[in-house]
Amino acid sequence: MIESDVAERVLTTAMGTGGEFAEIYAEDKHSTSVGFDDGRVEQVTSGRDRGAGIRVISGDTTGFAHTADITEAGLLRAAEVAAAAAQRGGPGTAVTSLTATVARTRTIERNPDEVAKRHKVDLLVAADEAARASGRQVVQVSAGYGDSHKQVMVANTDGLWSTDTQTRVLFRINVVADGDTGMQTGYESFGRTAGFEAFESVDVADLARRAAARAITKLGARPAPSGSMPVVIRQGTGGVLFHEACGHGLEADHIAKGASVYRGKVGELVASPLVTLVDDGTMGDEWGTLSIDDEGHPTQRNVLIEDGVLTDYMYDYLRARNEQRRPSGNGRRQSYRHLPMVRMTNTFVLDGHDDPDDIISSTEQGVYVSMLGGGSVNTASGDFVFGMTEAYLIENGSVTEPLREGNLIGNGPQVLRDIDMLGNDFAMGSPGTCGKDGQGVPVGTGQPTLRVKSLTVGGTAA
């Protein structure tokens, strides 16, 4: 994309106003998406995004500019703008030599750019048929396919020169069922950091049937209860609880500004001793997996909480530099148009020892959540919410009636302490998009079946 001698000249220009650090992040991304709705292929969309973002750090100030023009002239113009934005003192000089090379390419078998669009369309046709065949109650189906294939290059004045190829494929389906008490919806998705071969390991028709079954089941759902009660969360779906309850609060930028309930708590017991929480960007072909982060550093496995004790925070380049430590591979950005910041990758809780059936049978009254939706957190207060999109009552130790949708609310540190049973059935969950400061990045979550002894369920029933 950009030759190393061009990158060196651009970085030299970027340092022209006395900066201490400069970086080029360049990407060239091809994407294809297919939208299927109302029984029709609405359209196939092809996209191309190419450009570079240039960052200059001077003292506590970061200057940033980006450009879609990645010729040397275009890059030099952006470098001057970024340098001016970060300017503090007089002109400076710095000579950059790119020597520390990190070159990664994940092995993919089928580059989606080379797969006929017809095959992508066929996935959705099959899913639509399977969903509609699931029951008379199914009245509407929308499904989507998306892939992206991205070349990435990062160069900085520490001499780092990193390249990577990042490929992702995604499938989603949303089913509407109609009954006497109105409409209900069911959703399923599948995403991998991989090529089109990922669809050999999953049957989209199965996902479609699951989504349809979820919508149909909820037609008979009663209003969710309100008030505090024990909540059991099924394997694989509850990782979002940890993402919100503590993941964001362990991002070093929130810590540095004192905007996290977990500031100053390293070495302290912050969760039930059952809990070991890991953020791992290297994990297989999970949705949040990356070879290098968006600052060119290799991703790694970071243990954040071990047996309930807070062991470390997550860092990007800037926050690590301020604390004279190594980045943890958590510097990420939505695109070349965005500044990197501290972000999670795949965040999950390791297995415990409980049999998942015992967790339910030992719960007298409560709620069993078999699928969670999204969530959000106020890192300063620790209050967080997350939605239940498929849930049931637990009565006398058994899962009984389905419940309508609603949010659950809790306070992060309290909920982490209130986890009193942890299963031995670990699973990763559905692909997610984590939003922070206006930027969305792909993330994974996972966890075994677990119980929180008290959470506030936000339904309408007494």
Partner 1 sequence: MSVVDDETGVRELAAIAEGVVGRAVRGEQVEAFVLRGGETDVRVYQGDVEHFVSAQSEGIGVRVIVDGRTGFAYAGALTPDAIDEVLAEARDNVQYGTVDEFAGLAEPDGVAVSPQQLWSDELVALPTERKIALATELEQLTLALDSRVRIDDANYSDAWAVTAAATTTGISETSRENGCYVTVAALADDGDETQSGFGYSVGRTPGEIDLDRASGLAAERATRLLGATKPPSGRVTVVLDPMVTASFLSIIGSTLNGEAVVKGRSLFRDRLGESIAASAVTLVDDPTNPLAFAATETDGEGLAARRNVLIDHGVLSQFTHSSYSARRAGTVSTGNAVRGSFATTPGVGAMALALEPGSRDQEALIADLDGAVLIQSVTGLHSGVNPISGDFSAGASGLLIAGGALGSPVREFTIASTLQRMLLDLAEVGSDVEWLPGSAAGVSLVIHDVTVSGV
Near partner 1 in 245-284, by CB under 8 A? 257-259, 261
Binding residues for partner 1 restricted to 213-232, rule: CB under 8 A: 218, 224, 226-228
Instruction: Tell me: does residue 189 bind partner 1 (CB under 8 A).
Output: no
Q: x/- string (CB under 8 A) for partner 1, residues 147-176?
A: -----------------------------x
Contact 438, 247 (CB under 8 A): no
Cβ proximity to partner 1: between 275 and 339 the closer is 339
Cβ proximity to partner 1: between 59 and 91 the closer is 59
Cα torsion at 403, 407, 412, 414 (round to 10°)? -50
CB contact burial 301-326 (16+ within 10 A = b; e otherwise): ebebbbebbbbbbbbbbbbbbeeeee
Binding residues for partner 1 restricted to 57-76, rule: CB under 8 A: 59-69
CB of 454 to partner 1, least distance (A): 10
CB of 461 to partner 1, least distance (A): 8
Instruction: Tell me: does residue 439 bind partner 1 (CB under 8 A).
Output: no
Burial of residue 89, with CB atoms counted within 10 A of its CB: 0-12 exposed, 13-18 middle, 19 or more buried:
exposed
Instruction: Tell me: does residue 3 bind partner 1 (CB under 8 A).
Output: no
Binding residues for partner 1 restricted to 384-413, rule: CB under 8 A: 384-387, 404-407, 409-411
Contact 430, 188 (CB under 8 A): yes
Q: x/- string (CB under 8 A) for partner 1, residues 94-123?
A: -----------------------xx--x--
CB of 370 to partner 1, least distance (A): 15
CB contact burial 251-276 (16+ within 10 A = b; e otherwise): bbbbbbeebbbbbebeeeebbbebbb
Cβ proximity to partner 1: between 243 and 281 the closer is 243
Contact 119, 196 (CB under 8 A): yes
Q: Strand, helix or coil at 201? A: coil
Instruction: Tell me: does residue 50 bind partner 1 (CB under 8 A).
Output: yes
Binding residues for partner 1 restricted to 277-316, rule: CB under 8 A: none
Burial of residue 201, with CB atoms counted within 10 A of its CB: 0-12 exposed, 13-18 middle, 19 or more buried:
exposed
